[in-house]
Amino acid sequence: MAGPGDPPEGTPEGVPGGGEDEYRSVVFDESFVRAARIQEYSARERLDGTSRAVRVRHMWPVAGAPRQALILVVLIAVAFGTAIYLGIRHPYSSSGPESVEPLRITVIPLVPPGPVPAVNVTSLYANDPAAHYRAGAEGLPLPTARRVGDFTESQVMQALSSTKEYLVASSLDPEAVTGGGVRAVRDLIDPGQVDQFDRSLSAPGDDGQHAATGWLVRLDPAKVRLADQKVRVNGTITVSQVGDDRLEVVADHTFVYAVQGVTGSGAAPGATSLFTVRREMRFRFDRDDLRDHHMEVVQADVAAGPLSCTAPAADYFRPLLAGQSPQGPATADPYDRDRPAASVCAGLANGATGTPAAPFAPSSAAP
């Protein structure tokens, strides 16, 4: 017969000691009760009308919950703000000043075979190869803009227009050409090359990177002046895509300047001669450059004459004027490794300095 604490059917088989033995190892002390998440309402609370038999207890103390929640919200806000800040400061664009390579410059003085001939001031280019060249910006026609690779027609047009703007500012602007202001050129250059450009003008050097005459045509104002501000120009402009995200524009032009010596230069007063510069310029544009109206000037290969091989050409061009002869032949010393290998002189072809259209008569006509 079962005892008063046993089930009517007796103690279940296989359970030693009955149901009490099953929970004998569990100690229901005060800390266990406080840690429980579910708590039964008291008899008085149930009589007060509560509809549930148990309450769910909060893991956080009620007084501390708002503070901990506030801390969590602040941490989330700080993390979110940091992500936004880093996204603004470090966008996924690959371009930037740190990614821009310095301009590579080669300047080759062209040395005439003899005295520089004077040209008739009334027909400067009559018997010169530049006779059919156009004057000024008209000599820089742009090719038809078409889609190139991943770049749209409008982006290609922007690159071509910026190239022409650079050529005008650096080769045709009388102020820049005669040693004056160069702000228009500087504003077009990629910000990553501005320091190189500034150093090239403030401390020019024949080191392949800091010749002012690589960035622009620059005549020594203490020696020469323009006799005709309508510079003759002829050449080509081509565009292609390089890599995945850049346009490359190559401008190959010949510029012909009519020059006279200034007072004190030792040149015959009023004598006019021609000075010719061939510039092959290589520009690159990424999408940021196109948006910001900038360009990366990658390479400048320049050949100019008539010049003397012994005259420096990194800061200014100092053209040989009418009647003047070069000082020494065009020579290069292969043992001199203090100068870049490309820093050499070359002979100027016969007839490239112009031929007088008529017997020369000095003229004092103002340009």
Residue 357 is predicted with a pLDDT of 43
Per-residue pLDDT of 219-269, as tens digits, reads 999 999 999 999 999 999 999 999 888 999 999 999 999 999 998 777 777
Question: E strands along the chain, which residues?
Answer: 38-40, 54-56, 104-111, 134-135, 224-242, 246-261, 272-285, 296-305, 346-347
Reported confidence tier of residue 95, pLDDT bands at 50, 70, 90: very low
Residue 94 is predicted with a pLDDT of 42
Residue 218 is predicted with a pLDDT of 97
pLDDT surpassing 60 at residue 107 = yes
Of 37-41, 189-193, 279-283, 315-319, which range is least confident? 37-41
Residue 78 is predicted with a pLDDT of 75
pLDDT surpassing 70 at residue 50 = no
d(CA 309, CA 300): 20
pLDDT surpassing 70 at residue 51 = no
pLDDT surpassing 80 at residue 339 = no
Both structure tokens of 139: 């000599």
Q: What is the mean pLDDT of residues 19-35?
A: 58
Reported confidence tier of residue 76, pLDDT bands at 50, 70, 90: confident
Reported confidence tier of residue 96, pLDDT bands at 50, 70, 90: very low
Residue 333 is predicted with a pLDDT of 74
pLDDT surpassing 80 at residue 48 = no
Residue 39 is predicted with a pLDDT of 62
On the CB side of 197, CA atoms within 13 Å amount to 22
The amino acid occupying position 31 is S
d(CA 130, CA 274): 10
Residue 361 is predicted with a pLDDT of 42
3-state secondary structure at position 99: helix
Residue 216 is predicted with a pLDDT of 97
Both structure tokens of 28: 């229901």
d(CA 36, CA 26): 14
pLDDT surpassing 70 at residue 55 = no
Residue 8 is predicted with a pLDDT of 55
Greatest CA span in the chain, whole angstroms?
Answer: 151
Residue 6 is predicted with a pLDDT of 54
Residue 338 is predicted with a pLDDT of 74
pLDDT surpassing 80 at residue 71 = no
Residue at token pair 């500012």: 169
Reported confidence tier of residue 97, pLDDT bands at 50, 70, 90: very low
Q: 333-345 burial, b for 16+ CB within 10 Å, e for fewer?
A: eeeeeeeeeebbb
| Averaged confidence pLDDT in the chain | 81
Element (H, E) at 88: helix 65-89
pLDDT surpassing 70 at residue 30 = no
Of 52-56, 88-92, 180-184, which range is least confident? 88-92
Q: What is the mean pLDDT of residues 30-53?
A: 61
pLDDT surpassing 60 at residue 12 = no
Q: Which residues contact 72 (CB under 8 A, 6 or more apart)?
A: none
Q: Which of 40-54, 60-74, 123-137, 310-324 has the highest mean pLDDT?
A: 310-324
Per-residue pLDDT of 289-312, as tens digits, reads 999 999 999 999 999 999 998 889
